[in-house]
Structure 1
Amino acid sequence: MSNVLAIAAATRTLRNLLLTQMPALDNELSDLEVTLQPPDIARKGISKAQLNVFLYQVVFNAAWRNMDMPGRTRPGETAQPALALNLHYLLTAWGRGDTDSDAISHRVLAAAMSTLHDRAVLDGNDIRNALPDNDLADQIERVRFTPLPQSVDDISKLWTAFQTNYRVSSAYEATVVLIDSQAPARASLPVLKRGAQDRGVIDVPSTAPTLSSLALPHQQSAARLGDDLVLGGSQLTAMNAVVRFESLRLDAPVDVAPVAGDVAGTLRVHLADPVQDADAPTRWTPGIYTLSLLVQSPDLPALISNEIPLALAPVITVSPLTAPAGTVDLTVTCMPRLRDGQRVFLVFGDQLVVPTTVTQPGDLHQPSSLAFKVAGVAKGTYTVRLRVDGADSIPVDFSGSVPAFDGNQQVVVS
């Protein structure tokens, strides 16, 4: 690659090449002068045959822009790619004097184009001699000049920008100039061990399980502690597997071991209630979960399924169950316990009521307690639900032959 002198080195090498080669092609150009000025001032003070080389545009080279330089980085290492540039030059010709009656400008331009046609690739020695301390000749890619076709509209816009009269010209593109990045490269340490026992890559001849369905008891919209869930899908197994429940409200996921379902290809998962698991009040929290099946066979990488959503409903008690009309004060307990930041509402009939207080008993096995004040309640029977992060308690009693509203979650106002 090359240093920041690369653009100047390319321009100076091009000028020197044209200045030495063009007179050899046409004896009439023995007094030729090659300049590097903007077109609007290039002719000032000059009356002999002249070729002006003007770098009018520098663009990124798409092919090299994001490519690591060979020899600089190895697999696993990262480094900033080189600054890869294409240089656009405009070659403009003048004859002798102001009239150019002998069309010398045409011979100047023809000699310049012939030179670049025959010597399109810059010679390394010419580059080194063109500018001290430049190392453009040492870059991995050679610098090549190719004609850059321009439409009449392109030419018009270009010379309008120069704010000078148009002269016979030709555009060329020089590709590619690679300026080395000064940002440090980062190299990784050698690999000493591939995996826990230096076994390298492990190929598991099976696919991960896929969950496609979740069945809840009594076709409920949410599960409760104490319920059995039935998972359906493909590649399901209870061997070396856990069902992982994850929630944004929990510090760690809850893993529950499944068992084979009653139907082939299904799994059954039991959510232990506080009677079966004394830590259930704090292990869980009401709200929205995602669940997935994690299979961890000995000495093999874990296989994990897709995630499916689950709402875990709070189990509540309501007190009192009777109250006079007007303002009703209620106390509701919630199991499992609530967590900080959860959004909690009481759905009293068709009203949403926010709690006035939330109490967390010091005994972690006890449920959360919430106080609500419901104003302007008329006589009637009101079904009560607790909504936690979008998961509603289930106010239905399924113990009978026909589902009915649970009387323990109804308040009679008289």
Structure 2
Amino acid sequence: MSNVLAIAAATRTLRNLLLAQMPALDPELSDLEVTLQPPDIARKGISKSQLNLFLFQVVGNAAWSNLDMPGQVRPGENASPALALNLHYLITAWGRGESDSDALSHRVLAAAMSTLHDRRVLDGNDIRNALPDNDLASQFERVRITLMPQSVEELSKLWTAFQTNYRVSAAYEAAVVLIDSQAATRAPLPVLRRGAQDRGVFASASAAPVLDSLGYPRAQVALRLGEDIVLGGRQLTTEHALVRFSSLRLDAPVDLPPLAGAAGTLGVHLADTTEDADAASRWAPGIYTVALLLQPPGLPPLLSNELPLALAPLITLGALTAAAGDITLNLSCLPRLRDGQRVFLLFGDRLLPPQSISNPADLHQPTALVFQVPGVSAGTYTVRLRVDGADSIPVDFSGSVPAFAGNQQVVVT
């Protein structure tokens, strides 16, 4: 492949080739000058016969854009492909002076096109001599020159962009130029064993479990510690199975054993702090995904699809009464909050950010939060805590009819 001098090397090679060969084809072009200027300034200060070679477009080469270089990257290795480019040139001809009465510009153009037709593949020695330190000649693919027919519309757009009068011209493509990627190549070590004891691939006739539904208790919209969920689906079993709870807020997933349920269902219980002393720090309120993991002995694990779950915070208010005006509200939250979680207080219909959040050094203790609620008038306000989109549940389900829990309300007098 080539270094970053490849485009310049291709241009200089074409210029040198045209300058050397065209006078030999037509002795009238002994004073020929080959330039590399934009068409609008190419003729400034020049009165003799002239050919201008202008690189007007560079496009990606689709065929090479995702290919590894032969002999450089082997199967199983990871390397960025080369930057593969097609170069589009416009050659423009001028005769001597301004009138060009003898149509010398046509002879200039014909000699240039004949030269490019006879040397459609750039010679390696010509490339090496065109520009010091370039290695375009060593790339795997040769650089080929092809005439690009231009419609009247394309020519009109092209010369309009040049903002100059049209001159007799022709377009050519030089392809392909491959520039080395600077990204590191990764070459893994050869495989010595295919799995444990070189047993190769494991095959299992059973299908992975599929979860179709997740049910909260009492038609709630979230789960709390100490409550159960019901998973519905197919190929569900409690044998060698774990229910995996995953969250971006946790360092590792939490795996719990499932409980047998009705046909096609499994139950899962989330222990609270009375059942699990570490529950306060094991979990974090917020959004989880739930999956069923099967781990048969001697076989690779099978993981089901994932379903979303909201784990609601359990909150305790520091005071249930307050005087009207600006209120400072203290509350605690279980499970404990993690760094980076988005926390808001819903005080009645108002949404407020916390003034402070603190986690005690004792991992068994809840998170303490302080909120400032300005301009509160008399009344009874239901309080909720929203953590990463999961709201605490301010409802008491112990009676025959659900009602707002008195310990989740603040009475302002």
Confirm or deny a common fold (TM above 0.5): yes
Q: CA deviation at 1:223?
A: 2.2
Matches within 5 A, 1:202-351: 202-205=202-205, 207-262=207-262, 264-298=263-297, 299-314=299-314, 316=316, 334-337=333-336, 343=343, 345=345, 347=347
- Preserved CA contact (<8 Å) 1:317 1:334: no
Aligned to 1:13: 17
SS for the counterpart of 1:13 is: helix
Aligned to 1:88: 89
Q: Give the Cα–Cα distance (whole angstroms) in 2 for the partners of residues 230 and 360 of structure 1.
A: 32
Q: CA deviation at 1:258?
A: 0.7
Aligned to 1:35: 33
Q: CA deviation at 1:405?
A: 5.2
Q: Give the Cα–Cα distance (whole angstroms) in 2 for the partners of residues 97 and 369 of structure 1.
A: 88
Q: CA deviation at 1:395?
A: 2.8
SS for the counterpart of 1:36 is: strand
Q: CA deviation at 1:306?
A: 1.7
Q: Give the Cα–Cα distance (whole angstroms) in 2 for the partners of residues 221 and 82 of structure 1.
A: 52
- Preserved CA contact (<8 Å) 1:61 1:84: yes
Q: CA deviation at 1:210?
A: 3.4
- Preserved CA contact (<8 Å) 2:65 2:81: no
Q: One-letter code of the match for 1:209?
A: P
TM-score normalised by length of structure 1: 0.73
Matches within 5 A, 1:141-220: 141-152=141-152, 155=155, 167=167, 169-178=168-177, 180-181=179-180, 183=182, 185-193=184-192, 194-205=194-205, 207-220=207-220
- Preserved CA contact (<8 Å) 1:6 1:134: no
Distance of aligned partners of 1:317 and 1:142 in 2 relative to their CA distance in 1, 3 Å threshold = closer
Q: CA deviation at 1:268?
A: 0.5
1:228-283 CA deviation, whole Å, 9 max, x = no partner? 21011333332322222234544443221112212x11110012233332332332
Q: Give the Cα–Cα distance (whole angstroms) in 2 for the partners of residues 182 and 405 of structure 1.
A: 64
Aligned to 1:393: 393
Distance of aligned partners of 1:285 and 1:99 in 2 relative to their CA distance in 1, 3 Å threshold = closer
- Preserved CA contact (<8 Å) 1:95 1:108: no
Q: Give the Cα–Cα distance (whole angstroms) in 1 for the partners of residues 136 and 406 of structure 2.
A: 88
Distance of aligned partners of 1:385 and 1:286 in 2 relative to their CA distance in 1, 3 Å threshold = farther
Q: Give the Cα–Cα distance (whole angstroms) in 2 for the partners of residues 220 and 120 of structure 1.
A: 75
Matches within 5 A, 1:130-145: 136-145=136-145
Distance of aligned partners of 1:165 and 1:396 in 2 relative to their CA distance in 1, 3 Å threshold = closer
Q: Aligned residues: percent identity?
A: 46
Q: CA deviation at 1:151?
A: 4.2
- Preserved CA contact (<8 Å) 1:314 1:391: no
Q: Give the Cα–Cα distance (whole angstroms) in 2 for the partners of residues 44 and 338 of structure 1.
A: 77
Q: One-letter code of the match for 1:54?
A: L
1:368-391 CA deviation, whole Å, 9 max, x = no partner? 677889886758xx5754424242
After TM superposition, the structure 1 stretch with the greater mean CA deviation from structure 2, 4-13 or 156-165, is: 156-165
Q: Number of residue pairs matched? A: 396
After TM superposition, the structure 1 stretch with the greater mean CA deviation from structure 2, 86-95 or 349-358, is: 349-358
Distance of aligned partners of 1:88 and 1:364 in 2 relative to their CA distance in 1, 3 Å threshold = closer
For the pair shown, which has the larger CA radius of gyration, 1 or 2?
1
Q: Give the Cα–Cα distance (whole angstroms) in 1 for the partners of residues 376 and 163 of structure 2.
A: 82
Instruction: Give the aligned CA root-mean-square deviation in angstroms.
Output: 4.5
- Preserved CA contact (<8 Å) 1:291 1:310: no
Q: Give the Cα–Cα distance (whole angstroms) in 1 for the partners of residues 323 and 97 of structure 2.
A: 110
SS for the counterpart of 1:211 is: strand
After TM superposition, the structure 1 stretch with the greater mean CA deviation from structure 2, 183-192 or 268-277, is: 183-192
1:180-216 CA deviation, whole Å, 9 max, x = no partner? 4383752414234444554555455555433332212
SS for the counterpart of 1:8 is: helix
Give the gaps of 5 or more residues in structure 2: none
TM-score normalised by length of structure 2: 0.73
1:26-69 CA deviation, whole Å, 9 max, x = no partner? xxx466444312564489353xxx46252343513423455433
Q: Give the Cα–Cα distance (whole angstroms) in 1 for the partners of residues 163 and 195 of structure 2.
A: 68
Q: Give the Cα–Cα distance (whole angstroms) in 1 for the partners of residues 352 and 179 of structure 2.
A: 66
- Preserved CA contact (<8 Å) 1:360 1:368: yes
Q: One-letter code of the match for 1:292?
A: A
Q: Give the Cα–Cα distance (whole angstroms) in 2 for the partners of residues 174 and 303 of structure 1.
A: 53
Q: Give the Cα–Cα distance (whole angstroms) in 1 for the partners of residues 111 and 355 of structure 2.
A: 93
Aligned to 2:74: 74
SS for the counterpart of 1:243 is: strand
Q: Give the Cα–Cα distance (whole angstroms) in 1 for the partners of residues 44 and 98 of structure 2.
A: 14
Distance of aligned partners of 1:261 and 1:13 in 2 relative to their CA distance in 1, 3 Å threshold = same
Q: Give the Cα–Cα distance (whole angstroms) in 2 for the partners of residues 372 and 99 of structure 1.
A: 87
Q: CA deviation at 1:396?
A: 1.3
Matches within 5 A, 1:341-380: 343=343, 345=345, 347=347, 365=364, 378=378
Aligned to 1:26: none
Q: One-letter code of the match for 1:12?
A: N
Distance of aligned partners of 1:36 and 1:235 in 2 relative to their CA distance in 1, 3 Å threshold = farther
Matches within 5 A, 1:104-123: 105-123=105-123
